[in-house]
């Protein structure tokens, strides 16, 4: 006696998103960079004397303005990283734009925190690379599964 196996097709978009290892790495790095940027921004707003290194300031504006800008960008970075974990496709390009913006913002503080700014720029580049290079393969796997 043969049994027939029934296969049911799930509608597109109903399957769970599997973001993969590199996308999870990008989401974690984006989350950590957002938290660190938010903390430095908060420190700059609360007491700008604490965040100065070597007596030099930022290139553009002052530390208080820099702090508010970084806290705003950090909040959006954290929200975008959570959307990346959820597998949202719009979060990919939002994260790339935020990494570009964050790297530019780091250039404004390179005189105050040279090593920190270079490390954050390197992390931004790593996230941008992963989200632009490896995502298309994962996206095509999702489409084939649907």
Return phi, psi of residue 15, to 5°.
-75, 155
Enter the pTM of the model.
0.69
pLDDT tens sequence across 70-114: 899 899 999 999 998 888 888 888 999 988 988 888 887 777 778
Nearest residue to 96 via CA among 122, 123, 132: 132
Q: Give me the residue spans of the domains in the chain.
A: 22-136
Which pLDDT belongs to residue 129? 87
The crossing angle, in degrees rounded to 10, of helices 20-46 and 135-145 is 130
pLDDT over 50 (residue 131): yes
């Amino acid at each position: 006696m043969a049994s027939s196996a029934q296969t049911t097709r799930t509608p597109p978009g109903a399957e769970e998103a599997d973001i993969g290892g590199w996308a999870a790495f990008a989401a974690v790095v984006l989350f950590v960079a957002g938290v660190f940027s938010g903390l430095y921004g908060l420190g700059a707003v609360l007491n700008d004397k604490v965040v100065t290194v070597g007596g030099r300031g930022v290139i553009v504006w002052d530390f208080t303005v820099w702090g508010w800008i970084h806290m705003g960008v950090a909040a959006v970075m954290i929200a975008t990283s959570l959307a990346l974990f959820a597998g949202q496709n719009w979060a990919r390009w939002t994260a790339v734009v935020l990494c570009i913006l964050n790297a530019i913002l780091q250039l404004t503080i390179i005189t105050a925190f040279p090593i920190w700014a270079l490390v954050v720029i390197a992390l931004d580049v790593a996230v941008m690379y992963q989200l632009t290079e490896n995502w298309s393969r994962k996206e095509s796997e999702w489409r084939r599964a649907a």
